[in-house]
């Protein structure tokens, strides 16, 4: 999957991206609401190698994509099929330095458009830590609907956390895309 937007390139990872991705995931604040802790010098190669092999979206395998601006990776997008027919879940992380510039909205919006158009999925969803208000606002900006708030349903980093589910159906994406053009 290769997508070019007005300012960004969304593409599969290559071996030269490791340091940029490490800069994203070694940041404790970036990882605060993720399911994993920040990356370290000891595990960066192993974790990055997993992103390298996730180069296509197929059943039982996620896709990992680099978000690049001016030849620097500033974000990480992931998508994977859930157990429900034609349903894909997405995840995303961006460097703290890239915040406030609209890059996440542009990148995640282009990912959703591509998933609906190229993969013909029925539904896209995102599951968030409820404390991650920036991620909630992103989902709302790209036209996703808040569908559920689950109280202390997930044990992560030694505490119970709430989850929020956002979703969008394929026919809805056409209206959202038209309204943004």
pLDDT digits (tens, 9 = 90+) for 74-95: 999 999 999 999 999 999 999 9
Q: What is the 3-state secondary structure (H, E, C) of 88-100?
A: EEEEEEECHHHCC
Lookup: tokens for 151: 């109280």
Q: Is the pLDDT of residue 179 over 90?
A: no
Q: What's the average model confidence in pLDDT over 48-69?
A: 92
pLDDT at position 181 is 44
pLDDT at position 54 is 86
Q: Is the pLDDT of residue 143 over 90?
A: yes
- Secondary structure of residue 56 in the 3-state scheme: strand
Buried-exposed string 117-138: b where 16+ CB fall within 10 A, e elsewhere: eebebebbbbbbbbebeebbeb
pLDDT tens digit sequence for 12-56: 999 999 999 999 999 999 999 999 999 999 999 999 999 999 888
Q: Is the pLDDT of residue 62 over 80?
A: yes
Which conformational region is residue 8 in: left (phi greater than 0), alpha (psi within -120 to 50 degrees), or beta? beta
* Rounded alpha-carbon distances, angstroms, from residue 112 to 44, 167, 174: 28, 11, 11
C-alpha span between 130 and 82 (Å, rounded): 20
* Rounded alpha-carbon distances, angstroms, from residue 133 to 2, 105, 136, 140, 163: 29, 14, 5, 11, 12
DSSP state of 59: T
Which of 24, 25, 167 has its CA nearest to residue 87? 167
CATH superfamily of 3-180: Gcn5-related N-acetyltransferase (GNAT) (3.40.630.30)
């Amino acid at each position: 999957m290769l997508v070019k937007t007005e300012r960004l390139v969304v593409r599969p990872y290559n071996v030269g991206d490791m340091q940029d991705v490490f800069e994203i995931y070694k940041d404790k604040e970036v990882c605060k609401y993720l399911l994993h802790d920040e990356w370290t010098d000891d595990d960066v190669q192993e974790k990055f190698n997993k992103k390298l092999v996730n180069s296509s979206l197929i059943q039982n395998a996620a896709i990992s994509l680099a978000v690049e601006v001016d030849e620097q990776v500033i974000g990480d997008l992931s998508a994977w099929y859930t157990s429900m027919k034609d349903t894909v879940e997405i995840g995303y992380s961006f460097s703290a330095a890239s915040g406030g510039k609209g890059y996440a909205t542009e990148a995640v919006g282009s990912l959703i458009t591509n998933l609906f158009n190229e993969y013909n999925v029925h539904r896209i969803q995102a599951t968030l830590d409820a404390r991650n208000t920036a991620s909630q606002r992103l989902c709302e900006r790209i036209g996703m609907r808040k569908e559920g708030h689950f109280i202390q349903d997930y044990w992560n980093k030694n505490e119970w956390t709430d989850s929020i589910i956002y979703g969008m159906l394929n026919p809805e994406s056409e209206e959202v895309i038209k309204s943004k053009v």
